[in-house]
Amino acid sequence: MLAEAQNNRTVAATKANERSSRSHSVFILRLVGENSATGERCEGTLNLVDLAGSERLKHSQVEGDRMRETQNINKSLSCLGDVIDALGRGSAHVPYRNSKLTHLLQYSLGGNSKTLMFVMVSPLEAHLKETLTSLRFAAKVHNTHIGTAKATKKIRDS
């Protein structure tokens, strides 16, 4: 399934990246397990998310549809940053609904969840600004407590 999804993902060349992801990829796997001896049942959701990279319009030199894609990618990444910021501040209102991405990831980012993030950066000096932006975002995420995952067990009805 992941390979098929990857094949359907839009990739296009820009001046900044010859194989630029033009969309985010979210794979949601719901897991359910049951202990046949005790009837205890555990369930959880695993989200595998590959975010499209942020690109500066000036460097990517895109037009038309590619420009709109870049703007949408950057907007959704900005919304994700806003959600992380609100969670870090303990805000009563977390703006999950400001983008499809954050709305989709709402239950993975707040409360009863465990989140792990890997950030890919470029070693090239030409990408220094983007790399620093990515590392600052990673530091912000690292310093944000978003909740504690709690085990939930359900006993099978007799």
Q: pLDDT tens across 108-119, in order?
A: 887 778 888 889
Q: Which residues pair with 11 in a beta bridge?
A: 21
Q: What's the CATH code of the domain at 17?
A: 3.40.850.10
Residue with tokens 């909740």, as numbered in its chain:
147
H-assigned helices in 45-111: 57-60, 64-89, 100-104, 106-109
- At 34, the pLDDT band (50, 70, 90 cuts) reads very high
Expressed as residue numbers, the domain containing 139 is 2-155
φ, ψ dihedrals at 15, nearest 5°: -65, -25
Report the pLDDT value the prediction gives residue 58, as an integer from 0 to 100.
Answer: 62
The rounded distance, in Å, linking the Cα atoms of 80 and 95 is 9
pTM of the model: 0.74
What is the total count of domains within the chain? 1
Mean pLDDT for all residues in the chain:
82
The rounded distance, in Å, linking the Cα atoms of 12 and 23 is 10
